[in-house]
Structure 1
Amino acid sequence: MSTVLSFPTAKIRSVLDGYDKVLQKAMPLKAAHKRDLPYAVADLSRMLTNERGGMRANYWATPRSLSAYLRFFLPWNLYRLSWLLPQLHIPLKNGDTVLDLGSGPLTFVQALWLSRPDLRNKDLTFICTDVAKKPMEHGRRIFEAMAGVEPGKGPWKIKLVRETLEKSLRNSYGKMALVTGANVLNELSASRGQTMEDRFYELAYNMASACKEDGSILFVEPGTRLGGKIIGLTRAGLLEEGYLPQAPCPHEVECPMLDRNATGWCHFNMTADHAPMWLRDLTQRARMNRKNVSLSFLLASKAHPEYAENVRVLSDPVIIPGRKQKARYACSHKGIALLHEAENFESGSLVDVEWQDNPRKDAKTGALEVFPKRR
Structure 2
Amino acid sequence: MAELFPPLDAAAQAALNRLPEALARVRPLTGAHRRSLPEDIAALSRALTAERAELRRPYWSRPAFVSAYLHYFLPWNLVRLTRLFRGLPLPPPEGGHGPALLLDAGSGPLTVPLALWLARPEWRAAPVQVLALDSASQPLELGRALFAAWGEETGEPVWPVRLERGPLESLASRALPLLRQGWRPWLVTAANVLNEVRPARRGHGSARDDEDDPDAAGPLDELEAGPEDALGERLDRLLAAWAPLLAPGPADMPSAEGAANRVPAPPALLFVEPGTRLGGTTLMRLRELALEGGLHAVAPCTADTPCPLSRGAWCHFTFSPQGAPRWLAELTAAAGLTKRSLSLSPLLLTAAPEGEEGESHSPQPSAREARVLSSPFAVPGVDGLARYGCAPCGLALLEDAGAVASGSLVRLGREAPRRDARSGARIFAPGGKRAPAGLKKKS
1:25-104 aligned at under 5 Å gives the runs: 25-50=25-50, 58-91=58-91, 92-93=93-94, 95-104=99-108
C-alpha separation in 2, matches of 1:56 and 1:113 = 34
**Structure 1 position 365, deviation (Å):** 2.7
Q: Does residue 248 in structure 1 map to residue 300 in structure 2?
A: yes
CA RMSD of aligned residues (A): 2.7
Contact 1:331/1:337, CA 8 A, preserved across alignment = yes
Q: Deviations over 1:161-218 (max 9, x none)?
A: 1111112234447852221022111333239996111211222232333224321101
Q: Does residue 236 in structure 1 map to residue 288 in structure 2?
A: yes
- Please give the secondary structure, in 2, of the residue aligned with 1:256: coil
Provide the residue aligned with 2:17 in structure 1.
17
Letter in 2 for 1:202: R
Q: What's the TM-score once normalised by structure 1's chain length?
A: 0.90
Q: Does residue 210 in structure 1 map to residue 256 in structure 2?
A: no
Contact 1:4/1:247, CA 8 A, preserved across alignment = no
Letter in 2 for 1:164: P
C-alpha separation in 2, matches of 1:87 and 1:54 = 37
**Structure 1 position 294, deviation (Å):** 0.7
- Please give the secondary structure, in 2, of the residue aligned with 1:337: strand
Q: Percent identity?
A: 39
**Structure 1 position 314, deviation (Å):** 0.2
Provide the residue aligned with 1:277 in structure 2.
326
Provide the residue aligned with 1:317 in structure 2.
376
Look at both structures and tell me which one has the larger radius of gyration over its CA atoms: 2
Q: What's the TM-score once normalised by structure 2's chain length?
A: 0.77
Contact 2:151/2:158, CA 8 A, preserved across alignment = no
C-alpha separation in 2, matches of 1:360 and 1:225 = 28
When structure 1 is superposed on structure 2, of 331-340 and 116-125 the one drifting more is 331-340
Contact 2:22/2:153, CA 8 A, preserved across alignment = no
Provide the residue aligned with 1:340 in structure 2.
399
CA change 1:205–1:355 in 2 (3 A) is farther
C-alpha separation in 2, matches of 1:35 and 1:20 = 15
CA change 1:167–1:324 in 2 (3 A) is closer
Number of residue pairs aligned between Structure 1 and Structure 2? 369
C-alpha separation in 2, matches of 1:55 and 1:149 = 35
1:340-359 aligned at under 5 Å gives the runs: 340-354=399-413, 356=415, 359=417
Contact 1:312/1:349, CA 8 A, preserved across alignment = yes
Contact 1:250/1:331, CA 8 A, preserved across alignment = yes
Provide the residue aligned with 1:182 in structure 2.
191
C-alpha separation in 2, matches of 1:172 and 1:274 = 35
- Please give the secondary structure, in 2, of the residue aligned with 1:366: coil
C-alpha separation in 2, matches of 1:169 and 1:190 = 23
Provide the residue aligned with 2:424 in structure 1.
366
Letter in 1 for 2:270: L
> Which consecutive residues of structure 1, in runs of 5 or more, have no partner in the other structure?
none
> Which consecutive residues of structure 2, in runs of 5 or more, have no partner in the other structure?
202-226, 249-265, 355-363, 434-443
